[in-house]
Each structure stands twice: as structure tokens, then as C-alpha cells.
Chain A
């Protein structure tokens, strides 16, 4: 990412989840799109207010699971039929019911790993540095007991004074400027 200078955005701090939901809904309705909310625990209503309830983790998980299943089942078939056929009490080499169990386990293994790594990749983790950590009150509250709304400078509606006044009308505890 190219180094940036100046302001990342304005960060408003709220005391209750209800205040954050109201603020997020209003900002979204007023046309803000380069915005984000931060809370110490998941709040469904905020996601609904920002219309970002859909995500691609389930799709990644499904694809991972199906791949795992197909990979294991075909591998077992290849091993038992072609690579190393064994006569086990006269059973057919392609004894598919027995192959279900490892294929089942690998479906779960790959789906679970896809869910976890998909989550990381979609969230663009690891991101050990983020401009928000520069805000003096962010790290003190965002993962503990405070609720934040950030309007980013990249949004075309952003202007430092006007946006600050706009955020002040939402009843925040404080509004601070976040530098890069």
C-alpha cells in the first residue's frame, strides 16, 4: 500500500450499542459508504444498518468441503484399485462404502480450514498495523466497552469541519481525527 499522509478519517465514540446503531443507520442513509463501525462484540443491527450482512465465508467453506471430499474419495479409490490393490477377505477392491469415512472426515477438515483461512483472507488479516490504532481512544475502548463509528476521508462526502459537525449531532462521547 502506498504511504499516505494526512487524515484517515474521523472517529466518533459512543457509550451504548444503541447509539452506535442509530448513528450507523443515519450515516448510511445519508449516503456514506466509506465508513466502518467497531464494537467489542458482534452487533447484528449495525451490520443491518450498514447493509453488509452478506459475506463469502460460507461459499469458501462449501467449496473447500467439496474439494476435500472429492480429493479423499478419489485418492482412496486410486490407492485401493490401481496403486496397491489388496485382497481383504475377498472384498472388491472398489469397496466404496468403506471409503466414505475418511472422505467424510476430509470434507470436514477442508471445510473447517477453509472457513478459518477464508475468514482471515477476506478480512485481509494479518493487518498488524492500521491507522485506527493511531486514534488515542480507539485501543482503550474498541475491544473493551466502547462503540465507534469511523467516517473515512476517502468518501467523497468527507470534509474535516463539516463531517466533524455532522458526527457531533449524533451524540457521541467524543469525535477525534485519525491521522495516517
Chain B
């Protein structure tokens, strides 16, 4: 392509020749107005209330399901011997995996200086936090006696019993609690300058106090910005190894067991890639309606959706490699049990779940995401994101259920059937997630204003100007 053709490309900035991240014509003021208006307006959109009612209904479903569980015990679920890890663990792994894309966008893409992430980082982080909330619920309610859940923590009890630090399940307690804490800290620190903006833009006294307190008195001093930039960079640098460790530790829950289908070294990288795959799908599920309903197309542009499609393509292939390696090792290990587990997964009584997973995670996305035309088609991308999320849920179902229900001894084989309480809990967490997300969208700035301002062409001091300034 010649240079003249490049400058004619509407996706490029004519002055710099770089690909635009946000739509042309944005100013500091227009960005501030657009984003702060969503939060500060006294008029909540009717559609928001409609979704809020649905999400609230979902949260109530969760409350009912969990209350009944506490009254009657885990017997109301479909779990039984040999499948003692059912929906609860599937949902746990699925939700926490979804959270990982938020950290990837906010931390890893920051370290790689991918500036396009600025527009989507905030709500992706919010997604992380709410997904981790949903995830953390499951191990707690799965322990059978949830009122003894605090036994997982190393607390000085009167009976001097301490946790067992050699178990991946105990590592999980530290990995997930650290992940939740650091995600919240990172998210909150990221919002402080924007709270300052909202405090200054708010007209009602209540909003001024609310955002004023949250901003801690932020005023944009250069000395504060220097420390702030250091702290954000350090938090990104810390969140990156953290996010990789969290799903690795979760995969150890399986890989450390000697069960065929679980006992494999591919699990840590394969779990992390799958987590990011499903997380990006969830970001798309949220971003596409958000930008449409709140008219944010100028800030969350087609390029964002396109880039996320590309990342899904890449992580999807890593996941495909994981599936391939499982099949290969089943043959290459020459291990009778391993080979049987794989055969049973694909062609046993629950083979439907394996083929549904392959269709949702590999066949549909990995053949169509190559096309830029489809990546720029919002309806298609939205539907695809739902398909991938379903596929990733099925992946955890396949890993957990189809490994457990037929292990070494045919006499102990069984089956698994989820009950309505299982489905209600899953649907309930979806409702709760949406509930939290709607509150976030209404009361907190969903796009980082100060970071998007850095994408406005006039925000940068060019080297030329600096020379002028030095005269």
C-alpha cells in the first residue's frame, strides 16, 4: 500500500498516520461532558430501570437458592458420588476466568503501552470485580457448612488447628482473596482523578459530598500525578503476575489430583488462556450494548471491538492447542485410563457436551474471527460473545463432570444431573453480576476520563513544541 493510500484511510489520523483510537473531533471538554453526564444526570434512563428489575429478580433468585441451600444442605444440588464437584466448581472457575480479561486489559495492555485499552479498561475492571464476587461465593457455599468457612483462613483458634499449606485448595484461598483485593485497589486508585472531576462537575450537594469524599481531595497536582503514575505502573506490574497465578493455582486444584483427565501439565497455561478467552467474550457482551445505549461509539470505537476480536482469535487458538494436546497425550502417554477418559469424554454418554464445547469454542469463533467484516459487525460479535461464554462454561463442565463420573473402577461409575437449585444459583449469579454492573454504570464513571484525554491529539507535547518552549 502506498503512502497516499495510507493517508486516505479514514481509520488513520491524517496528521500522524497512526490508527485512530477514538473518533476524530473529540476535545477534553466533550469527553468530560459525555462521561460525567451519564453519572451526574438526575434522569435515569427508563431502559436502565427495566434491566435493573430483571437483574434484581436474578439477585433475589440467588438469595432464595442460597437460603434454601443453607437450610437443607448441599444435598439439594445434583452433586453426588462420584461427581462431588458439580455446578458450584464449574461456576467458580467460569466466573473467575471471566474476571481475568479485565485485569489483562487494565494491567497487561498498560505495560505493553496499548493505548486503545484506555477507553475500555474501567468497565472491564468493574467486570473483573463483580465476576470475582460471583466466583468467591461458590467455594463458600460449596463447603457444606458455610458458617465454618472462616476455617480456611489461618486464624488463631482456641483449638489451635491450622490450615494445611501444601494443598492447592488452601493456595486458592490466598490467590483469590489477593486477586479480589488487588483488583478493587487497582480499580479504585484508577478512579480517584475521575472522582475529582465528578466532584467538580456535580451540581447537587449530595453528589459533591459523595464524589468529594471518594476523591480524597484530588486536585491534579503535578507532584501527585508523578506518584500516581508510579503507583499505577507498579499496580499493573503486580497485577500481571497475579492474574497469571490465579488461574494457574485454580488449575492446580485439578492438575495435582491423580484423576485421569485432570492430572496433566498443560492445565496452567490452558486455563489462563481459556480465562482470557472467556473474559474478552464477556467484555464484548457488555461493551456492545453499553456503547449503543449510552451513545459511546466515539470513545469505544469499532477498532476496540476489532482488537478484542483479534485477541479472542489468538487466545482461542491457545485453547485449541490445549484441547489438541489433551487428545494427543491421551494417545501418546499410552496410559489406558487417560485414553479411556478422552474417549469417554468425546463418545461416552455425555459426549454431547464435548462436541457442543468444540462447536462453541473452536468451530464457530476460530473460523469466523478471521474476517474483518464480521469483526466489525456488532450484532455478530455480540452473538459470538454469548456463544464463546457458553462454550467456556461447557469447557469447565467437560473438565469436571466427564472426568469424575467414570474413573478407574467401573463399579463406582455414576452420572450427573443438575437440579433446579443448581440452575437457579447459576442464573442468580448472572442476575447479581448484572445488578452490580448496572449500579456501577449509573454511579461511577464507566470510562476513565483522564486516560481517554491522553488519546486526544492535542494532549501530547510534541518534541518540536518542547524545543520551541526551551528558547
Interface on A for B, CB 8 Å cutoff?
16-18, 21-22, 24-25, 36-43, 45-47, 50, 52-55, 57-58, 61, 65, 72, 75-76, 79-80, 83-84, 86, 88, 91, 95, 98-99, 101-102, 104-106, 108-109, 111-113, 115-116, 118-120, 122-123, 125-130, 132-133, 138-140, 142-145
Contact = CB atoms under 8 A, between A and B. Distances in A.
B424 interface: no
Nearest to A58: B230
A128 B226 contact: no
Interface in B367-411: none
A119 B162 CA distance: 35
Interface string B20-34: 000000011100100
A108 B230 contact: no
Interface stretch (B138-146, B181-189, B315-323, B337-345): B181-189
Contacts of B465: 18, 21
B231 A101 contact: no
Contacts of B80: none
Contacts of B242: 105, 108, 112
29 contacts: A17-B459, A22-B469, A40-B28, A40-B193, A41-B450, A42-B228, A47-B226, A57-B227, A79-B154, A79-B162, A80-B162, A98-B165, A101-B168, A101-B245, A102-B174, A105-B175, A105-B242, A106-B178, A112-B186, A115-B231, A115-B234, A116-B189, A118-B231, A122-B227, A126-B216, A127-B217, A129-B217, A143-B196, A143-B218
B113 interface: no
Interface of B: 27-29, 32, 154, 160-166, 168, 170-171, 174-175, 177-178, 181-182, 185-186, 188-189, 193, 196-197, 199-201, 212-213, 216-231, 234-235, 238-239, 241-242, 245, 249, 449-451, 453-454, 458-459, 461, 465-466, 469-470
A25 B245 contact: no
A41 B235 contact: no
B27 A128 contact: no
A57 B230 contact: yes
B178 A108 contact: yes
A88 B164 contact: yes
A143 B223 contact: no
A102 B171 contact: yes
A125 B216 contact: yes
A39 B225 contact: yes
Give the secondary structure class of A's interface: helix
Contact of A126 (B181, B217, B249, B458): B217
Contacts of B213: 126, 128
Contacts of A120: 216
B1 to A, nearest CB: 33
Contact of A128 (B201, B212, B238): B212
A16 B458 contact: yes
A157 B177 CA distance: 52
A42 to B, nearest CB: 4
Nearest to B452: A41
B165 A79 contact: yes
Contact of B245 (A53, A55, A105): A105
A83 B197 contact: no
Contact of B165 (A80, A108, A127): A80
Contact of A37 (B200, B221, B458): B221
Nearest to A22: B469
Contacts of A58: 230, 234
A40 B186 CA distance: 19
Contacts of B185: 112-113, 116
Contact of B197 (A40, A109, A112, A132): A40
A143 B197 contact: yes
Contact of A101 (B164, B174, B220, B234): B174
Contacts of B223: 36, 47, 52, 55, 123
A119 B231 contact: yes
A36 B178 contact: no
Contacts of B466: 21, 45
Given A17-B461, A38-B221, A80-B165, A145 B27 contact: yes
Nearest to A139: B200
Given A52-B223, A109-B182, A142-B219, A116 B461 contact: no
A38 to B, nearest CB: 5
